[in-house]
Amino acid sequence: MYREISTAELETLLKQGEKLNLIDVRERDEWEEGHIKEARLIPLSEFQARANEVHDVEGDVVFICRSGGRSGRVCEFLALQGFDVANVTGGMLAWTGEVVQGE
């Protein structure tokens, strides 16, 4: 089982300066169209090869994608291995906070 948080909760945590390890699992073209400044990109298509990078950053591990489906699959996979992770419900489609474009 993994936790789910709303985009509003995520935005509040970021504004409060919480240490979050926010990982966007969308593909690079989606990322470049707009992403959350504090997020880092590990595309789902590269996830198996780069899964060791998940814990490179301190803080609660939170995954986001376009709508919550892909990030939910990643959370399910990691939760089955005993990791404490959270999924952002609604994903970037529900995100009303600031986004940055490009790399």
- Residues with Cβ within 8 Å of 87's Cβ and at least 6 positions away in sequence, in order, are 2, 3, 4, 5, 62, 63, 64, 68, 71, 72, 74, 75
Q: 36-94: per-residue pLDDT in tens?
A: 999 999 999 999 999 999 988 999 999 999 999 999 999 999 999 999 999 999 999 99
Q: Which domains does the chain have, with CATH numbers?
A: 3-94 (3.40.250.10)
Work out the angle at residue 69's Cα, subtended by the Cα atoms of residues 29 and 86, and round it to the nearest 5 degrees: 100
Interatomic CA distance for residues 17 and 19, integer angstroms? 6
Residue 102 is predicted with a pLDDT of 85
